[in-house]
Homo-oligomer: A and B are copies of this chain.
Amino acid sequence: MDDIAKILSKALECDASDRILEAGTLYDKGLHHLKQLIAATKNTRIAKKYLEHMSQYKERSKNIQLSIKKLLEEGTVLQNISISQNSMGHSYESLFGQYLKSDIEEIYLEEPYLHRFYQYENLIVFFELAARKCPNLRFIKLITKRMENANILNDIRNDLRSRHIGLHTSIDEFLHDRKIALSNGVIIKIGRGLHFFKAARGEYALGQFDYDYRECLKTDVDIWTSAKTMGG
C-alpha cells in the first residue's frame, strides 16, 4: 500500500504542476496496483474505499487523455515545410530546433517504427537535441508499434534516467501516424516520422554525425501550435 500511496501522490504532484504525461503514466500505474489490491482483499469495507480511490484516479487519467487528444487535433499552423527527395540540411535541429525551448518539461512522441538499428540511432539524435535544448525536460512518453529490441530501449532509458529524464514506452499495435507534441503546445508532424534520412555516403564520410549532411527522403513537415499547452 505504501508504494501505491507514493505513486499516486507523485501523480497528483505532477498533475498539479502540469506535467500531465508523467501524471497520466503514474495514475495508470497506481490504478493497476489498486486493482490487484482489491482482488486480494477480503475486507469489503476496505475494498470499497479502494474502489472510490480508483474511480477518482480513473476520471483524472481519462481527462488527461482527452486533453492530449484535444491538443493533437486543434491548433494554428506555424510552418509547413516540404523536404524534397535527396535534399540536405534537414537535421532535426535545422527543422524544428527553434521550437525546443526551456519551458518544455514533457514530450509526447508517437513513432511506430523502432526496430532497425538506424531507427534507434535517429531516436538518440532526437533525444540528444531535446535534452540539449530543453534543460527542464523531465519526462518523455513514447508510443510505438512493436518493441523487438527492448534491451536497446532499456539502454536509452537508463541513460536518460541518469540525466533526470524519465522515458515511458508503450505499445499500440495499430499506430500509424507519427507526431511529436511538446508540453508548451507545439506539435510537429513529419510524414515519415523520425526516419527520413538516407545513410551517410559511406562509413567514413561527412554525415556520420551531423545529419545536416545527410540526403533526405521526400516528406512533409507540419508544425502547429495549440491554443492549449499540454497541461493547461
Give me the interface of A with B, judged by CB distance under 8 Å. 120-121, 124-125, 127-129, 131-132, 152, 155-156, 159-160, 162-163, 201-213
Contact = CB atoms under 8 A, between A and B. Distances in A.
Contacts of A208: 121, 124-125, 128
Contacts of A132: 210, 212
By secondary structure, the A interface counts as helix
B129 A210 contact: yes
Contacts of A152: 204
A22 to B, nearest CB: 20
Nearest to A153: B204
A127 B201 CA distance: 15
A209 B149 CA distance: 20
Contacts of A209: 121, 124-125, 128, 209-211
A206 B155 contact: no
B206 A163 contact: yes
Contacts of A207: 128
A52 to B, nearest CB: 43
